[in-house]
Structures are given as structure tokens and as C-alpha cells.
Structure 1
């Protein structure tokens, strides 16, 4: 591998981790994502830091949790004291040519041409034009004399499959239509966890009922949900074709062997699980995201089921590792490079991670929540309402149907998850309140 490789980071908006055919999903075909996974490592247990655009993106570009960035909601700017340590600034100072195209949303929907994020903007917020502009920029860079050019860091940020939001509201799709859905019988079936589970946090449905603009499918029939799933998968396929064009250009320009390629998304989408569309809730389909790394010197065709990965915390350390750049101080994420190369990381990998949320949008109750994910269990906590705690055995119950928090026999496990979440929040200065362990308490009535 070259001493300082080029780096290409491509990410989508609102793509669930299972929305790829290489993840075993038979309801769509994603040959470009599959091709990338077959030549690299796909991280199966990859999560966002918050299932909302601005907070998640702020994390990816700083390596910190959204509350540390002061970006818990959409439309907020990264804290001033963290700006010098953003991804683009760090790489620019290290001598990389840094390019950005597509959706930004931190807070502007498109990154301004004149900015202090360290990037030169080659395309605005427009999925129709992004791929061509990306290829033109790669071609112009490759056309420079080899002795005079610096390695590049390029970010291509697509909006799709976010257009499922417009589709659900029966609005025109900004980046091109996908056609009328076929009859429900020809659409993907409903997921096994389509029905809301018993002992679900009541506040989730309260928030859903408050905001038709975000959750227009709340009262729709199962047949309608099947057509929504059809549309969602078509939008993923649409953006997969753009990814394929970029990967083809990288190979045609002779840059493939010198370039680290990372593919991910800012957060997922419910697409029918738990009768949920869109984001914000802490369901697995919403917080788990795709993450693929293809790099010179890396293993091929690997699916990592063993390591909990946060694209918001681990992206910046990973790219710094490949570039030979000292990462900013105080980061809690780790580099994925050893895992991609089939080596053990230099320090013990995390045994849990945290996802935070707030129901943003101005029409509900601003409900906040946190999730603790370990290899086997997932603990979910919202800040109000009955059954605000959930506990799942993710190995036996990946659909999050059986809430163990309502069974007194699991009180010890529940208390352990409370302690672990509280400790993790203290480490980052997160003020969110976690219930104290209460041995023997029957949580059937809901912890208050």
C-alpha cells in the first residue's frame, strides 16, 4: 500500500444496514455494494451515533458523540472548539487535497463553497449531478503530473434513499421518479417484526402520532407498508447504481490500488419494522447502518460479525491511521484498519457502544433516549412514559420483540445494563439520566 493512500468516503442517507443484497436481503439487488464488500470487509455490527442527519454527520466528521458536538438536533453547527479538529481540517493540514460533494446538513444542506471545514466543494446538494462531478474531479486530479499532486480525501454524500420521505407523503421525488409500485402481492412481504411489540415504550407511538409529516404511514394498511418497502428498496438500488459508476471510474483511472474506499450511511430507516417509517426511534433497523471498507492490503470478502463499530466514532481514527496522521486528541473511537487487514487491534476492542436520540421536528414532545448495545444484548431507555425501558437478547431475538425488562427474573441483567450505560454517559459528559439499579423491583409497571 502507498505510504499515503488516497481516500474516498461515499455515504448515503437513511440506509438501513440490512438494505443490501450482500447482507442477505432478497428484496433488492445492490451489485456495487456487493462488489465493494467482496473486495473488502463488511462490518455487520455497525451503528450510527444518532439516527438523525445533522447529529450523525457531525459525529462522523469529528469522531465525537452528538452531544459533545453540541448538535443533538438537525440544523445545528459543530461546536466552535471542535472545528479545528474536523476531518477535512485535519487532512488539509496534513497535506491532503480535500474534496466534498453532495449533502452536508451541518447545518447547511449543502457545504458552502467558502467554508472552514477544510474541503473544496465540487458539487452541491444534487444526487443527479453528484456522480458526474465526482468522476470529473477524480479525472482532473489523475491528470496532474504525478510528482506534483498530493493524495486526495474525497467525500461523496448522496441523499438517497432519503427520498422515501417524499414518496411516503406522495410528493415528487427530487432526484427522479422510480415508477408506480406494483400490486402488493408483487411487493416485498412484511418483516417478522412488523407488528409493534408488547411492552413497547408508549412515548414512541405518542411521538409518531404527533407528526404526520414525518410518520404519514402510522395508520396505513399492511398492503400500503409492502408498497413502501418496495419503494425504499428501489431507492437504495438507485443510489447503488451511482456508487457503481464511481467505482468503475476509480478503476478506469488506475486509482483503485492506491485508494482506500469506505462506504456507509448516516442512519437507517424503519421501512416497516415495528410499523415504523423514517428514523429517530432506537429500533435496530433505524440505528444499524452499512459499513464497508476496501483498502490496499486489506482482506477480501470478509464479513465481521464480532466487533461493535460506530461510524461516528471510528471513521476519523480509521482514516487517520491509513493516512499516517495523528488523530485529534481525546477521541474514543478506534481504527478499523487492523480488522480490515486481519490483525488484532492494538488495544482491546469495545464491548459496548451507545446510540443517542431526540425526537426532533417541532411537533412532539422532544423525547430523548439512549441505547446501549453489547454483543448479545440491547438496552433501550427513553426519558418518559410507561415501559420506557427495553432489554433484548439480540442473539435470540434480533427483531426486538420480547422485552426482558418487564420480567423480574432479568432484573440483575437490567441493573447491569443501567450501570454500564450510566458509566458510558459519564465518560462523555452526557447529562441524560439513567435509573439507578433497584434489585428485586418489578418493572412490569414501567420504571419511572
Structure 2
């Protein structure tokens, strides 16, 4: 009888892609993720297809570019006409379990306006079996209260720093102790699920909220890193200078507040000093190490129960975080810090032994995740998927026709918490940008603003827009063509392989 095939898909939130010791971030203490890198393959140039959370996770779990699934922002619905990873796993006999969230808003054509899911940021994607939902946080806070911890009237205040308010970026510990943190809760939910499987094959989406803000860490993680050891901020000499690059960037430089990141932060994000940015980064790293410690518990359980060598493990993220670079906080705009994300794949098969511990430099994308999982489980990859399996890289092989560029998109229409559409005087459906990026250049195309071009060899920090320089006119035209080629080649194609013939329905492969 063949051994069971299990999949552990670890999805963290807002983790910058190059912040792994394997990729040079030697100031980080992540021994368990390092262990995963040593036994798997690490992808240096892995990019999400969108920010923020909702569209990024829609791409991750449908295998589609944003231009195809069109769940372009948080709170915007995902069409039910698309399949997703959970539905495909069910066709293969799996009951896909989920700890965490997918930030999915349901298709309004298939439910009522009074559906409670329309009153929150997002809910669970159709097809998943939730064993630890975090969308409304009731389950987490109920667990905290059940442990004897007295919750404040405003439950989110557990993430405030201890002591007087008004801390901003701080090394003070969170009100909540580490034993009751959301990271501990996610891990407990995941381990509870795994213990109950009793040897049956499983798929688990193990999500974590961190290192997503608020950037307050429980003790001892709050003081684990020194601000002076953090990498220096990459930004123009002043917010005003940064804002000159583009009208959208100017809006964000001038309108992001610290309150969403530190609970009690009062000033604009662009007003942060270098010392404040360094402290923020130190706390962010502490939240990373907290996740690493808990992943160690999960990895140890799989080894103790003999499941380590039957389990495909993927560690990835929805999107990155600006962390003060370009005078920005959060995940917005068009800079790499928001879009480059971690990707580690540990394939337990013997065929993957030769590539263990390697780093892949080629461009990979979050849409590659779903095809990778399905191929590993010997399940068909739906035609809707725009991505490609990463398993050849795990076997030490680079496909001859692999992509030489990445594409990602950002929609900046007005939402209840952000109003760039109004500020810029644009129509809703013109509030969009798309990026094509390779090793040499990065081209940003706007629907209703002038384009941007960055010469990445000369200007890796992406401060100088070359799109208006006559010397780069031919390159702007070339990359605009690349953008059009991409859109034509990846236009939504779920049904375009079907056709009627005199002999009846015909289905063509790609």
C-alpha cells in the first residue's frame, strides 16, 4: 500500500522575501526555517501577483493573475466561476483544512446582501474546511479568555505595549504573553488538527498573522533584536523628495498613518526617524522568530510521528512590507519590498535529494504554488492556472521555457480605509497599474498616469524614473510591448480550449 501523501502549506503574512538567513539576512535567528531551507529549495526571486492580502491570496489559491480573477482589492468579491486549490484537492479525495484566513469576499450573485461575510474584511475561500478561523477573531479571543486571561473591553488592546499609551515604534512587550499570542493559537489549532488525523492523508493550510502589524511582540521576542543591527532604510532624503516620483506615491507618502502599525502611533508613517524605523524592524524580526519557534514544534511533531518524509512542505507568504523604505509603511504601490515574498519548497521524494539546500535565482511567482501542490499529488492542473509547477527546480532542473520576467498588479481604487481614487481625480476602473520586471529593467504601466521605468543595474533602489529620458525611449516601447504580450498570452482561458465540432465537443490541451 503506498504511503500517504500529505501537504503542509505554511502561509505567513507580510514577510519580506529576502528576510531569510539563507538569502543573506544573517542577523535573523530562524533555526527551524533554516532547517527547512537546508532540506528544500529556496527561491530568491519569488513575487506575489498583487497586494494587499485579499488579491494576493486569491492569486495564491486560484493560480491566476489578478487580471483574470479580478478580486482586485480587499473586500472585492472573488467570482465563483473559478475553481481553487481547495476544490481541486477535494476532487483528489482530500478534505483541505485551513488554519488562519484567506480574506475572500463571496460572490454577491450567489448569496444575499445581508450575508455576514459582507460586513467584514473577508472570509474563508469556498472549499476549505476551517479548523481555526481568524477572520472575525472570535475563536482566538475565546481561547484566550478560556485560558483565564481577562480580556480588555477593546479586545485588540491585547496587542498594545505594556505600560502607558503613546509608544509608537517600541521594544516594550505586548500586553498578551507569548503563551497566549495569536502565533501560539494558530500553532495549537494546527497541531490539534494533525493529531486527529490518525494516519489518514491530509492537506493543511497553516496560516499565521505575523509579522503583520501591529508591530508589538510578546516577551521575550520584543527584545530579541537590537535596532542598531537592522539593515538601513532605503529612501529619498525627505518625504517631499520621494513624493516627486509619481502622483500615487505622493498620495501614500502623505497619507499613511502610523496608527495601523503601532496601535498608538500618532504621526504619519513618512515622519519616522531612522531610529524609529530601526526599532520597528527589530520588533518585526522578533515576530518572525516567534513564528520560527512555533514552526519548530510542528516540524518536530511530523518527525516524531513518522510523517516528515511523507509531507510536502511549502513556506510562503501573501505579500511583503515596506518597513519604512521609500518613506512607506504597509504593502502598497509598485516597489519590490511589497511584492517580493519568501518561497521554500521541501519535497521529500528521493528525486529531490540532489537539489536540497540550493537557491533558485530564476523568477518565480505565487501563481506557481497551486500547480506545484497538485502535480506533487498527481492531480490535474486546471487550465485556468497561469502558473507552473516548481517541482523541476526541486529535482535540480530548470525548464527550458521558464519565464524570464515577473508580473504583478496593484489596484488603488477607493475603499473605506483608503481614498487615492478621490485624491487623484481618477475613475474607479482606471485606478490600476501593472509591472513587468526582469534583471535589467522594471516598467510600471498605469491606466491613467504616466509610466515609470527603472534601470535596475544603475538604480536598484528605484529612485530615478527613466521613462521620460529620450535615451530610454526604445526601452520603454520594448517593455510596453512585453506588457501587451503578457496580457494577450495569459488572458482568462478557462473555456477557450473547448470547441464545438461536427463530431461534438472537442477539448484541446494548452
Measured against the shorter chain, the TM-score band is 0.7 to 0.9
Mapping for residues 9-408 of structure 1, pairs under 5 Å: 9-82=9-82, 85-107=83-105, 117-125=126-134, 126-141=182-197, 143-144=198-199, 149=200, 151-163=201-213, 166-167=214-215, 178-179=221-222, 186=228, 188-193=230-235, 195=237, 200-212=245-257, 216-297=268-349, 298=352, 299-305=355-361, 307-311=362-366, 313-345=367-399, 348-359=401-412, 361-362=415-416, 363-366=418-421, 367-385=431-449, 388-408=450-470
Conserved 8 A contact 2:51-2:338: yes
Q: Secondary structure at the match of 2:87?
A: helix
C-alpha deviations, 1:318-337, integer Å up to 9, x for none? Answer: 11110101111232211100
Cα 1:182–1:268 shift into 2, 3 Å: closer
Cα 1:187–1:338 shift into 2, 3 Å: closer
Could you tell me how far apart the structure 2 residues matched to 1:200 and 1:354 are?
21
C-alpha deviations, 1:254-301, integer Å up to 9, x for none? Answer: 111111100100000011221221111211111100000000232210
Could you tell me how far apart the structure 2 residues matched to 1:202 and 1:214 are?
23
Could you tell me how far apart the structure 2 residues matched to 1:111 and 1:245 are?
29
Q: Which residue of 2 aligns with 1:410?
A: 472
Could you tell me how far apart the structure 2 residues matched to 1:65 and 1:177 are?
40
Q: Secondary structure at the match of 1:330?
A: coil
Conserved 8 A contact 1:181-1:227: no
Cα 1:50–1:266 shift into 2, 3 Å: same
Cα 1:394–1:253 shift into 2, 3 Å: farther
Could you tell me how far apart the structure 1 residues matched to 2:432 and 2:365 are?
20
Which segments of structure 1 move beyond 4 Å, counting only runs of 4 or more?
A: 108-112, 175-178, 180-184, 192-199
Alignment gaps of 5+ in structure 1: 431-448
Could you tell me how far apart the structure 2 residues matched to 1:132 and 1:183 are?
29
Conserved 8 A contact 2:243-2:249: no
Cα 1:239–1:382 shift into 2, 3 Å: farther
Could you tell me how far apart the structure 2 residues matched to 1:407 and 1:353 are?
24
Q: Between Structure 1 and Structure 2, whose CA radius of gyration is higher?
A: 2
Cα 1:377–1:90 shift into 2, 3 Å: same
Report how far residue 198 of structure 1 moved: 8.9
Cα 1:333–1:4 shift into 2, 3 Å: farther
Report how far residue 128 of structure 1 moved: 3.0
Report how far residue 136 of structure 1 moved: 2.1
Could you tell me how far apart the structure 1 residues matched to 2:104 and 2:205 are?
14
Could you tell me how far apart the structure 2 residues matched to 1:30 and 1:134 are?
20
Of 286-295 and 128-137, more deviation after overlay is shown by 128-137
Q: Which residue of 1 aligns with 2:167?
A: none
Conserved 8 A contact 1:193-1:273: yes
Could you tell me how far apart the structure 2 residues matched to 1:383 and 1:70 are?
15
The normalised TM-score by structure 2 is 0.73
Could you tell me how far apart the structure 2 residues matched to 1:180 and 1:266 are?
26
C-alpha deviations, 1:303-348, integer Å up to 9, x for none? Answer: 001x21111x111111111010111123221110011111243x61
Conserved 8 A contact 2:11-2:317: yes
Conserved 8 A contact 1:69-1:78: yes
Conserved 8 A contact 1:75-1:106: yes
Q: Secondary structure at the match of 1:406?
A: coil
Could you tell me how far apart the structure 1 residues matched to 2:395 and 2:443 are?
31
Report how far residue 242 of structure 1 moved: 2.0
Of 268-277 and 37-46, more deviation after overlay is shown by 268-277
The normalised TM-score by structure 1 is 0.83
Could you tell me how far apart the structure 1 residues matched to 2:193 and 2:95 are?
11
Could you tell me how far apart the structure 2 residues matched to 1:261 and 1:180 are?
30
C-alpha deviations, 1:418-438, integer Å up to 9, x for none? Answer: 1111222234459xxxxxxxx
Could you tell me how far apart the structure 2 residues matched to 1:138 and 1:24 are?
33
